[in-house]
Amino acid sequence: MELQERLNEVRSHISAAERQAGRPDGAVQLVAVSKTFDADQIRPAISAGQRVFGENRVQESQGKWPELKAETPGIELHLIGPLQSNKAADAVALFDVIETVDREKIARAVADEMKRQGKVVKLYVQVNTGLEAQKAGIAPDDTVAFVDLCRKELGLSIEGLMCIPPAEENPGPHFALLAKLAGQAGVEKLSMGMSSDYEIAVAFGATSVRVGSAIFGAR
C-alpha cells in the first residue's frame, strides 16, 4: 500500500471513530509522526494534504524541516519527544507545538526562549500516567499544580496534556485519567493515541492522535 493510501485509511478510521463516539467530524487532529524518515519520504504526505507532523528529536528535525516548511507554508510541527534544556532555543525556533513540557526546568527554559525570540509556541504538559521510571512526564498527582505553576509563575499558556500509556497495558484507563486531569487543570486539548490505539483514544476524548508507522510504515 502506498503512503497516500495508508494516510487516507488512517483518516477514515479517525472519522469512523469520531462518529462512533458521537463527536463532530474533524474534532480530532491527525499528527503524522515522521521521526526517522527523511524529507523525500515525508513529501508524499505533504502532497496528500497532511500539514501537521510530529518529531521526537530536535537535532534530527533541524536536518529536514526548515527546508520542508519553506517549501510548503502552513505546516505545523510538533515536538513529541523529550526536550533537554540545552535544546530549548532550537526547539522554540523550529517547532510550533511542544508537547513534552514535563518539569519546571524545561518550562522555565521554554518561557525564557519564547521571550528572547519573540515567538509563541503552543505547549502541552506530558503526564507519566503509568508512573514508568524510564519514561518522561510529570506524575498524575502533580499535574494540576504543575500546570498552575506554569501559568501563574512563568506566564505560560498551557493548552493541553499529553501521555504515552505503558505498552503492555490497556490504554483506556490511561486515556480516561488524562481526560480527568485535563478537566481539573482547565486545559482543553488531549494529545493521546498512537498507531496501535488511536481509535480508542478518540473514544476517550483525544483532540489529537500521533500516528507514525500506520502512515509511514515500519521504521
The residue written with cell numbers 504526505 in the block is 45
For the residues 6-11, what does the mean pLDDT come to? 97
For residue 218, pLDDT over 90 is answered with no
For residue 109, pLDDT over 80 is answered with yes
Q: Partners of 52 in the beta sheet?
A: 76
For residue 110, pLDDT over 90 is answered with yes
User: At 214, which helix (H) or strand (E)?
Assistant: helix 213-216
Contact 90, 61 (CB under 8 A): no
Residue 185 CA, chain-centre distance (Å), reads: 18
Q: At what angle do helices 39-47 and 3-20 cross, to 10 degrees?
A: 50
Return the CATH class of domain 3-213. alpha beta
pLDDT band, residue 213 (cuts 50/70/90): very high
Contact 175, 200 (CB under 8 A): yes
For residue 114, pLDDT over 90 is answered with yes
Q: Where are the domains of the chain?
A: 3-213
Q: Is the dihedral of CA 36, 133, 180, 175 positive or negative?
A: positive
For residue 219, pLDDT over 80 is answered with no
> How does pLDDT run across 134-192, given as a tens digit for each residue?
999 999 999 999 999 999 999 999 999 999 999 999 999 999 999 999 999 999 999 99
pLDDT band, residue 5 (cuts 50/70/90): very high
Q: At what angle do helices 104-117 and 143-152 cross, to 10 degrees?
A: 30
For residue 129, pLDDT over 90 is answered with yes
For the residues 119-135, what does the mean pLDDT come to? 96
> How does pLDDT run across 18-74, given as a tens digit for each residue?
999 999 999 999 999 999 999 999 999 999 999 999 999 999 999 999 999 999 999
Residue 46 CB: number of other CB atoms within 10 A? 18
pLDDT, position 16 = 98
For residue 98, pLDDT over 90 is answered with yes
Backbone φ and ψ of 73, nearest 5°: -65, 150
Q: At what angle do helices 143-152 and 171-185 cross, to 10 degrees?
A: 40
Residue 62 CB: number of other CB atoms within 10 A? 15
